[in-house]
Amino acid sequence: MAILDIRNLTVSFATPDGAVSAVNDVSLSLQKGECLGIVGESGSGKSQTFMAAMGLLATNGTARGEILFDGKNLIGADEGTLNTVRGNRMGMIFQDPMTSLTPHMKIGRQLGEVMIRHRGASISQAREQALAMLKRVQVPEAERRLDMYPHELSGGLRQRVMIAMALMCSPEAIIADEPTTALDVTVQAQILDILRDVKERLNTAVVLITHDLGVIAGLADRVAVMYAGRIVEVGDVRGIFADPQHPYTKGLLACTPRLDDACGGLMTTISGQPPNLQRLPAGCAFHPRCGYASERCSAERPALEQTAPTRAKACFANLKAA
Amino acid sequence: MLSFIVRRLLIAIPTLLAIITVCFFLMRVAPGGPFDAEAPVPPEILANMRAAYNLDKPLVQQYADYMLNLARGDFGPSFKYKDFTVTELIGQGFPVSAQNGLAALVLAVLIGVPLGIFAALKQNTAADYTVMGFAMTGIVVPSFVMAPVLILIFAIGLKGTPFQLPAGTWEGGAFEHRILPVFCLSLVYIAYLARITRASMIEALRQNYVRTARAKGLPFRTVVVRHALKTALIPVVTFLGPGIAFMLTGSMVIETIFQLPGVGRYFVQGALNRDYTLVMGVTILSASLIITMNIIVDVLYGLLDPRVRYE
């Protein structure tokens, strides 16, 4: 059963140069307890899709379509309704732990206020819960950290605090927006372990937004690949990695450096630039960069069509035949 | 923190000495003297007057004498208000200016800061433009225009109505005689505070941690007050530090227009009359206040942002 069901979501931003569509007609569902990976380049709309779900779009942004959380539409919901979901039943972890914690509040208080707000906890109960949650995300010397300010912690510890904060009320879903991008590689692995533990032991559904396919491979059950505000391919993680059906997905996979590659070889890249969202090419937005493009691709936009029970792609080309 | 304050107070001593010295010699370099404005007096009497006030000695000797007296807490006699010492003049005027300044400060903070927050939350709406329009008016209209306009409205226009307010009278500082001057003094600060608070609040609301606080499901009011406001207050405190010093020492324009027995009018009158000792007195008063306020501001930074360290 889907805890989060996004239907035909379109997000656009009013700018001085006219409206920019960051997300176009995206439909996605997050099942209870699963980990859904969202991959794409900067500007592909992967973050904005879930910012819309959290009601955190910038003030010039508008969302259309439906975002059903446990059956209730969050689009157009008032702040009060959103606040019964945010931080309570759906948590969010942000990319930059250095700037995402309030600098003038102690860790314990920042964690505790979630419990106080959603569970009506007393200050001492909230503190106890905060301590338990810090231990759960493996923060060493957790007791002492409660009375520290964010700037006294390292980046990895701050990201653990962010995760603990998102988990305080045992939410049904958490959205992790590039949770490891700003961190050292060794710390990245620890953070991913914690997320895996959360998913497996707390049975929390996780949305993992990243541009790092390695992160996806390690954690996700299903993957959606986004390009220029649309989903171009979606499927189970094994299928996507073993048999990419969209040229963009295939390109992304080819770009990932491998340990068994010959030394001194050139790294593969996808030629060209991601398109300007205000001047999207006609037809398929990827066709100017696509090696499989035909004339049809520049005239007509391929719809996302199911190719197997768990797979769908938005492409006219048949990669196997080509 | 304590050692930081002590250190700052120690540094304040040479600062103050430098200000006193520069001010002393600048006053003497200015053409004219304290007895010029009066009807011409015979040279013998003028010489006597100069001798009586120690002005016949070499400049360096005068400076040394002045500093020695100052060290004993003696600011010397006023040249213009002949029966008074500078200490007496400031002792009478400063409490009046300080009380009015304090009242204006409270008014400015209580009105200006909430107005700024309100405008920031309603950014780029009609409400925002209205508040900022009034704030801009408050800043660009000088007090020598604002004060007569207020008098025209409240003392003359509303005469005979319950809203009539007295102006140009002091009556020992009775409440209703203070309303107009205090309001007039606070207007420009209300305007500045509203603008500064708006700008810094907009900046604070853009921070990533404000987004985190919203993602936690906190009511927007809590997000603003608990997570954004402290950061937003830093520029406000920076502005208010010297601002308070200026408010407490009174405004020449407002004290003249409303006929207040404060210390503000001495700044300009003293300088115009070449009343050397009085100018020195008010300079020392305002310099000490500004230095003190700046130390307080630096201490407040640490309370608003734990990342600030005193070393």
Neighbours of B78 (CB within 10 A): 25
A25: its two tokens: 């007609």
Kindly report the nearest CA distance between residue A205 and chain B, in angstroms.
17
Residue B217: list chain A partners with CB under 8 A. 82-88, 114, 117-118
A188-218: string of b/e by CB count within 10 Å (b at 16+)?
bebbbebbeebbeeeebbbbbbbbbbebbbb
A248 and A66 in contact (C-beta within 8 Å)? Answer: no
A45 within 8 A of A229, measured Cβ to Cβ: yes
**Distance from C-alpha of A68 to C-alpha of B220, rounded to nearest angstrom:** 23
Cβ distance A87 to B212 less than 8 Å, yes or no, reads no
Using the beta-carbon criterion (under 8 Å), do A102 and B304 form an inter-chain contact? no
As a whole number of angstroms, the distance between CA A136 and CA A195 comes to 11
What is the residue whose two structure tokens read 């400060």?
B105
A224 beta partners: A38, A234
- Tell me the chain A residues in contact with residue B123 when contact means C-beta distances shorter than 8 Å: 59
pLDDT at A322 over 60: no
Nearest CA in chain A to B231: A104
Please tell me if residue B215 touches chain A, with a CB cutoff of 8 Å.
yes
Give the pLDDT confidence of A60-74 residue by residue, as tens digits: 999 999 999 999 999
Pairing relation of β-strands A230-236 and A222-227? antiparallel
- CATH class name, domain B87-258: mainly alpha
3-state secondary structure of B303: helix
- In sequence order, the 6+-apart residues with CB closer than 8 A to the CB of A82 are A54, A55, A74, B217
Instruction: Look at the block and give the residue holding tokens 């070499």.
Output: B58
Q: What confidence score (pLDDT) does residue A263 get?
A: 66
Number of domains in chain A: 1
What strands lie across the sheet with A72-73, from one edge to the other? Answer: A18-31, A2-15, A61-69, A72-73
The predicted-structure confidence for B191-238, as pLDDT tens digits, reads as follows 999 999 999 999 999 999 999 999 999 999 999 999 999 999 999 999
| Residue A281 within any structural domain of the chain | yes
State both tokens at B15.
């600062």
- How confident is chain B (311 residues) per 10-residue block, as mean pLDDT? 89 94 90 74 82 84 91 87 88 92 96 96 94 94 92 89 82 84 94 96 95 95 94 94 91 88 86 88 93 93 87 69
- The DSSP bridge partners found for residue A140 are none
- In this structure, what are the phi and psi dihedrals at residue B87, rounded to the nearest 5 degrees? -60, -40
Interface test with A, best of B122, B123, B207, B216 (most A CBs within 10 A): B216
In a domain, A316, yes or no: yes
pLDDT of res. B28: 86
pLDDT at B159: 85
Inter-residue contact B194 to B161 (CB < 8 Å):
no
Domain annotation covers residue A147: no
Q: Chain A closest CA to B226's CA: distance in Å? A: 9
At A229, which amino acid appears? G
Cross-chain Cβ contact A86/B215 below 8 Å = yes
A204-261 pLDDT, tens digit each? 999 999 988 888 988 999 999 999 999 999 999 999 999 999 999 998 888 877 777 6
Question: CB distance A105–B304 less than 8 Å?
Answer: no
A79-83, A297-301, B171-175: lowest mean pLDDT where? Answer: B171-175
Sheet holding A311-313, edge to edge: A90-93, A173-177, A205-210, A35-39, A222-227, A230-236, A311-313, A305-308
Which value does ipTM take for this structure?
A: 0.90
- Which pLDDT score, from 0 to 100, does residue B41 have? 77
B214 to chain A, any CB pair closer than 8 A? The answer is yes
The domain containing residue A316 runs over which residues? 247-258+266-322
Whether chain A has a CB inside 8 Å of the CB on B217: the answer is: yes
Average pLDDT across chain A, whole number: 90
- Which region holds residue A208: left if phi is over 0, alpha if psi is between -120 and 50, else beta? beta
d(CA B291, nearest CA chain A) in Å: 27
Extents of the domains making up chain B: 87-258
Q: Is A77 in contact with A290 (CB distance < 8 Å)?
A: no
Contact (CB<8Å) B218/A92: no
Q: What is residue B34's predicted lDDT score, i.e. its pLDDT?
A: 79
Q: What is the mean pLDDT of residues A98-103?
A: 93
pLDDT confidence of residue B132: 96
pTM of the model: 0.85
Residue A157 belongs to a domain: no
